[in-house]
Amino acid sequence: MPLSENDKEWVKLIAREIAFAVNKAVIIEHIKSCPHGKALLMSKWFLIGICLGPGIIGGSAGFAIAKLLAGM
């Protein structure tokens, strides 16, 4: 018995949903276990630390020096 047009559309929709779910799971697992992605993530946080760290430390040091000078 051949499939009707409605049956063919239903099969296409189900296949698309299954492929989407499998693809999503594979990508999530790949992101968790990819060594290149982990290295990229670590380098991104390292760069953020380099950018923000001196500003935070410099601001704290400036505040401490100003507080010392104000006490004199």
How far separated are the first and last CA of the chain, in Å rounded? 97
pLDDT of residue 55: 87
The 8-class DSSP code of residue 71 comes to T
pLDDT of residue 17: 96
pLDDT of residue 25: 94
pLDDT of residue 15: 96
Q: How many domains does the chain have?
A: 1
Q: Which domain holds residue 21?
A: 5-70
